[in-house]
Amino acid sequence: MGLILCADKGHALEGLPSKVMAANYGTVLPDAELLQKELETARHLLELRTSK
């Protein structure tokens, strides 16, 4: 999981060495509490997937 910050969505993922799947675009960062909740949810889902 990662967070890519850029000024122009059109060129954000060009030139990266591996394929990047972007699921959500936003023009404003969420507040810190919401971002923390999203990170915790993603981490939990990843742990469930890798523990099988």
Residue 4 within any structural domain of the chain? no
Across the range 25-47, mean pLDDT stands at 84
Helix H segments across the chain? 32-50
pLDDT at 33: 92
The tally of domains found in the chain comes to 1
Cβ contact 35:27 at 8 Å: no
With a threshold of 0.85, does the pTM exceed it? no
Query: Residue 46, Cβ neighbours under 10 Å: how many?
Result: 11
Residue 43 within any structural domain of the chain? yes
Quote the domain boundaries for residue 42: 9-50
